[in-house]
Chains A and B, each alone.
Chain A
Amino acid sequence: MASPFGAQTQQAGLNIVVLDPAHGGTDPGARGTGGIRESEIVLDFAIQVRRALELQGFQVVQTRQGNEDPSFDDRSATANAQRGAVFVTLHISSTGLPGTARVYVNSDLPPVADSNGLIPWDRAQVPFLGLSKKFGDLVQGFLFQRFKGSPEAAQTASVRQLRTTAAPAIAVEISSVTVENRADLDRMAPGVADAIARGVAAFKPSYVVASTSGAPR
Chain B
Amino acid sequence: MTPHWKFWVIGGLLVAVLAAAIYFPILRRRVKRAARLQQQSEEQARRELAQPIAINPGDPRVKTKLFWASDTIDSTLVPVTVELPLSSDPVVRSKQVLNTLLAGPVDTELRTLPPDALLLAFYLLPDGTAIADFSEALATSVPSGIVSEQLAVNSIARTLEANVPQVQRLKILIHGQEMETLAGHLDLTGAFVVNTKAAQAPVKPASTP
Q: Which residues of A contact B (CB under 8 A)?
A: 22-23, 27, 29-31, 38, 72, 91-97, 100, 102, 104, 106-110, 122-123, 149, 156-161, 163, 171, 173, 175-176
Contacts and interface: CB of A to CB of B under 8 A. Distances in A.
Interface residues of B, number: 28
B185 A91 contact: yes
A160 B145 contact: no
B145 A94 contact: yes
Contacts of B189: 122, 160
Contacts of A38: 144
B207 A158 contact: yes
Given A29-B144, A38-B144, A95-B145, A110 B202 contact: yes
Closest 7 pairs (CB-CB, A-B):
A94-B143, A158-B207, A93-B145, A107-B207, A160-B187, A158-B187, A30-B144
A170 to B, nearest CB: 11
A93 B147 contact: yes
Given A100-B74, A102-B147, A171-B146, A158 B192 contact: yes
A175 B190 CA distance: 27
Contacts, number: 96
A94 B207 contact: no
B176 interface: no
A211 B52 CA distance: 54
A93 B181 CA distance: 15
A109 B203 CA distance: 9
Interface of B: 74-75, 143-148, 150-151, 153, 180-181, 184-187, 189-190, 192, 202-209
A104 B149 CA distance: 13
A94 B205 contact: no
Max chain A C-beta neighbours (<10 A), residue from B145, B204, B206: B145
A30 B145 contact: yes
Contact of B146 (A23, A109, A173): A173
Contact of B206 (A22, A96, A110, A149): A110
A30 B74 contact: no
A94 B141 CA distance: 12
B207 A95 contact: no
A104 B146 CA distance: 8
Contacts of A30: 143-145
A45 to B, nearest CB: 15
Nearest to A178: B143
A209 B117 CA distance: 44
A176 B143 CA distance: 11
Given A100-B74, A173-B145, A176-B145, A157 B150 contact: yes
Contact of A108 (B147, B180, B208): B208
B74 A123 contact: no
A94 B148 contact: yes
B181 A160 contact: yes
A74 B22 CA distance: 57
Contacts of B185: 91, 159-161, 171
Contacts of B181: 160
A91 B187 contact: no
Given A30-B145, A171-B146, A173-B145, A163 B180 contact: no
A160 B144 contact: no
B143 A160 contact: no
Contacts of A97: 74-75
Max chain A C-beta neighbours (<10 A), residue from B185, B190, B207: B185
Contact of B186 (A96, A108, A159): A159
Nearest to A94: B143
Contact of A160 (B75, B186, B206): B186
Given A29-B144, A94-B145, A158-B153, 7 more contacts: A31-B144, A72-B180, A95-B151, A100-B74, A110-B202, A156-B208, A158-B186
Given A109-B207, A122-B205, A95 B192 contact: no
